[in-house]
Chains A and B, each alone.
Chain A
Amino acid sequence: MIEVDVIERVLGAALRTGGDFAEVFAEDRRGTAASLEDGRVEQLASGRERGAGIRVVSGETTGFAHTADLSETGLLAAAAAAAAAAHRGGGGVREVALGASPARSGGVAVLPETVAKDVKVALLRRADEAARAAGSAIRQVSATYGDNRRRILVANSDGVLATDDQVRTRFGVSCVAEGDTGLQTGRETIGATVGFELFDTHDVEDIARRAATRAVAKLAARPAPSGTLPVVIEQGSGGILFHEACGHGLEADHILKDLSVFAHRVGEQVASPLVTLVDDATMGREWGAFAVDDEGHPGARNVLIDHGVLTDYMWDLLRARKEGRESSGNGRRETYQHLPMVRMTNTFLVGGTDDPEEIVRQTAHGVFVAQLGGGQVNTATGDFTFGATEAYLIEDGQITEPLRDTNLIGNGPEILRLIDAVGDDFAMGSPGTCGKQGQGVPVGTGQPTLRVSALTVGGTAR
């Protein structure tokens, strides 16, 4: 994207006002999105964005500027703006020499840009037909296809030079069913850090049928209970629980500002001994995977909680520098127009030893969750919430009636202690987008079937 000698001159210019650290992040992003609704392929959209963000750190202050102009003139102007923003007086000349760039091994079999547009569009039509065939109650089907290729280059004044080529492909179907009780919805999404070969292992008809079945089943759903109950979460459906209940609270930016309920607790038992929590950017095709993070650090596997004991937080470069340690490879940003911060990658609970069916059988009265929607957490208080978009009542150890959409709430540190069964059936879940301070990044989650002995279920049943 940019010649090495140009980057070296730009980094030198960025440090001219006395900065301690400078970084160039260049990105070239292309994507295609196609959507079908109402039986029509509504629109095929494609886009391209290219630019660079330049960061200068001076003491506690970070200056940042970005430009869509990747010429040396454009980059030097952005470098000057970032340096001025971080200005603390001082100054001088610093030479920057970059190391060799580790090449990203290509893991993508079929680059989406090499696939004809009509082939992508055909997937939507197949999904539409399959969903409509799934039941006469289906009133509306919408299907979306998206692919995205993001090539990045990161270089900094510590001599780091790294590149990555990230390709992601996703497909989703959502259905509306109509019955005597009104409208209901069902949704299913797949996605992976791969190219078009995603569809070699995933059948779009199958995805469509799952979405349709969900919507139809909910037509007979009754209001969820209201109050505190045991909740069993099916394998691969509720990794978001850990993402919200403790993942965000283990991000070093919250920790260093003492704004997390998990601050100062490394080495302590913070969860049930059944809980081993890992964040892993190196997980092959998973949605949150990458070779190099957005600060040039290699993606890594980090154990956060080991058998209930807090082992470490997640770190980006800035927070790690403050503590005199190495980044854990969790520095990410949405685009070149954003500053990086500490973010999760693929966050999951490691499988246990319980028989998943037995977990349900040993639950007298509770809720069985088969699909969770998004969630939200307040890291300072630990209070979190997430939505259940497919759930059932458990009565006398049996999964019985479907429940209408409801919200589940809890407190992170409390819930981690209340996990009393962990199944041996680990699975990763659907692709997600994690939002933090206005930036969205792709993340993965996963877990085996598990039980929380007490969660607040926000239903309306009297």
Chain B
Amino acid sequence: MSELLELATRVAGWARDGEQVEAFVASGRDTDIDVFGGEVESLSSAESAGIGIRVVSGSRQGFAYAGSLDPEVVAETLGEARDNAGFASPDEWVGLATPDGVAPAGLDLWRDDLVSYPTGEKVARAIELEAMVRAADPRIRQVQSAGWGDSAFETAVASSTGMSASGRRTVCSVSTYVAAGDGDQTQTGYGWSVGRSPSEVDVAGAAADAVGRATRLLGATKPSSRHLTVVLEPLVTASLLAIVAGTLDGDAVAKGRSLFADRLGEPVASEVLTLVDDPTDPEAFGAAVYDAEGLATRRNVLVGAGVLRQFVYDTYSARRAGTSSTGSAVRAGYKSGPHAGTRALAPVPGPLSREELYAAVGDGLLVQSVSGLHSGVNPVSGDFSVGAEGLLIKGGVPCEPVREVNIASTLQRMLLGIVHVGADLERLPAMAAGVSLAIADVSMSGR
């Protein structure tokens, strides 16, 4: 048993009669390196650890956390969670997870070669990235950021209701954000590459992506307002689908915050869309063997050929809905309790390559990045309105850069308006994957 799981088990063992106790323990080592002008601008490297404790007593739940695994602090944190439980409203559905017999996927998400990778090598990869960007095109004016980041972390969860699970993962990445210029105009672009092991990180690819994205926007103008087909690049698709997934979690449904609450079994999207959350897929960076309550993760099909198939549940939201957990408890580290959510959301790729998809669209707007997603999308009403930059597609070819435009619709209409799903699945570090996605009849505001 790992040290973390031992600690979690010990805390769970302190449960009193009539009380349930769950301890979630996390510990990690992170390195972050930023370079500028061929030198290290900052290098930070640190270990951190913490614990989050849930206590359920008399149908009431309390939570407390601490950024320390010191025995005295842990004991104090349990006391605090216990005290907090006394102030919650009684809720018949509150309760910790219990073993459900689902077998855990056999995944190895840890790579020793990242743990032993020398800091000097990490610095060299970051410096190489910056140099490649600067050398790639004379129009590159500045490298806003270029860096390396990695994390090796372990989590464990144990409860007095019989849960006991632990897992560990490594992840590393390079990323860069660059500015290109031509005359008075400046445009920016990003590029990244992510892997579990340093050998999977593609520095040249990240540099080329960032340079390509920034330079192809040079000369951008503000187009006139109209309705048209938009093609979202994979990263943008992933952001959109993550918002959609947020409306498909059991919490949102139970609390009347989901615009799809009554739509199970009905078509909610174009039949070309199948949306899956599969943390058991080892290729997904959000892959995990266990969920945040210690249940085995599983493959959940949220939307199948446009039909709403299921919601994702943690233990609490499942009990409220009269069903069982889908192994979809997530948490934002030890500082918060679990809630229902997705970890490895991905659309099932379609038949068209990127070029074929552009050709099939004919005329439209290729969106390479959006801004204001957190403020411009209302996941309850479905209103969607965000800033965008990209290129107008004419005759099947992205050719004319545009800036300062806004695209708007509603989530409901966008899902139904999907006309093509690309074959170009891209794995993203942010627990999701994307493809090129063509959506008809979106409003573009410009001049």
Interface residues of A (CB under 8 A from B): 34, 36-51, 59-68, 78, 81, 85-86, 117-118, 121, 139-140, 142, 176, 178, 182-185, 218, 224, 226-228, 257-259, 261, 337, 339, 372-378, 380-381, 383-387, 389, 404-407, 409-411, 437, 456-460, 462
B44, B88, B376: the one within 8 Å of A458 (CB): B376
Sample of 20 more A-B contacts, CB < 8 Å, known A41-B88, A44-B88, A409-B387: A43-B84, A45-B64, A45-B336, A47-B64, A47-B66, A47-B335, A49-B68, A65-B44, A81-B45, A176-B256, A176-B257, A226-B408, A257-B36, A372-B375, A374-B374, A374-B375, A407-B386, A458-B385, A458-B407, A460-B385
Which B residues form the contact surface with A (CB < 8 A)? 36-37, 39-46, 48-50, 61-68, 73, 77, 80, 83-89, 91, 119, 141-142, 144-145, 179, 186-188, 225, 227, 254-257, 259, 335-337, 371-372, 374-376, 378, 380-383, 385-387, 389, 403-410, 443-447
Cβ-defined partner of A374 (8 Å) among B63, B89, B372, B382: B372
Using CB atoms, name the residue of chain A closest to B31: A85
Residues of chain B within 8 A (CB-CB) of A460 are 385, 408-410, 443
Complex-state Cα separation, A50 to B89, whole angstroms:
30
- B200 CB, nearest partner CB in chain A, Å: 23
A85, A258, A339, A385: which has the most chain B beta carbons within 10 Å? A385
With a cutoff of 8 Å between Cβ atoms, the chain A residues found around residue B443 in the complex are 226, 458-460, 462
- B375 CB contact (under 8 Å) in A85, A183, A375, A404: A375
Collect the chain A residues with CB atoms within 8 Å of residue B380's CB: 176, 183-185
Q: Is the CB of A407 within 8 A of B376?
A: yes
CB contacts (< 8 Å) of A49 on chain B: these are: 50, 66-68
The CA-CA distance from A352 to B141 in the complex, in Å, is 39
Which chain A positions have C-beta within 8 A of B259? Answer: 182-183
Residues of B within 8 A of A78 (CB): 46
State whether A63 and B43 are in contact (beta carbons under 8 Å apart), knowing that A45-B63, A176-B380 are contacts in the complex. yes
Does B255 contact A140, Cβ atoms closer than 8 Å?
yes
One of A37, A117, A228, A386 near B87 (C-beta < 8 A): A117
Query: Quick one: given A46-B84, A259-B144, are A459 and B42 in contact (CB under 8 Å)?
Result: no
| In the complex with contacts A44-B88, A45-B337, A405-B385, A385-B41 CB distance below 8 A | no
Q: How far is the CA of A66 from the CA of B145 in the complex (A)?
A: 23
| Complex CA–CA separation, A48 to B255 (angstroms) | 30
Instruction: Return the chain B residue nearest A382 by Cβ.
Output: B186
Question: B65 contacts A66, CB within 8 Å?
Answer: no
Shortest Cβ distance from residue B255 to the other chain A in the assembled complex, whole angstroms: 5
Instruction: Give the shortest distance, in Å, between A184 (CB) and chain B (any CB).
Output: 5
Q: A45-B84, A183-B380, A381-B187 are in contact. Are A257 and B387 (CB under 8 A)?
A: no
Known contacts A176-B256, A183-B380, A185-B381, A407 near B372 by CB under 8 Å: yes
Q: Determine the distance from Cα of A219 to Cα of B364 in the docked complex, in whole angstroms.
A: 32
Q: Are B39 and A257 in contact (CB under 8 A)?
A: no
In the complex, the chain A residue whose C-beta lies closest to that of B320 is: A38
Instruction: Closest B residue to A258 by CB, please name it.
Output: B142
Contact indicator B67/A61 (Cβ below 8 Å): no
* Residues of chain A within 8 A of B40, CB atoms compared: 60-61
**B385 nearest CB neighbor, chain A only:** A407
Given the contacts A185-B378, A381-B403, A121 and B43 also touching, CB distance less than 8 Å:
no
Of A45, A121, A404, the contact of B65 (CB 8 Å cutoff): A45
CB distance from A241 to the nearest CB of B (A): 12
B contact residues around A375 at 8 Å (CB): 372, 375
* A385 lies within 8 A of B376 (CB): yes
Q: Contacting B188 at CB < 8 Å: which of A185, A381, A384?
A: A381
Using Cβ atoms and an 8 Å threshold, which residues of chain A touch B91? 40, 42
Task: Report whether B372 and A42 are in contact in the complex, using a CB–CB cutoff of 8 Å.
Answer: no
The CA of A51 and the CA of B49, in the complex, are separated in Å by 11
B77 / chain A contacts, CB cutoff of 8 Å: 48
Distance (Å) between the CB of B191 and the closest chain A CB?
15
- 5 A–B contacts from the bound complex (CB under 8 Å): A48-B73, A68-B48, A85-B44, A385-B376, A437-B145
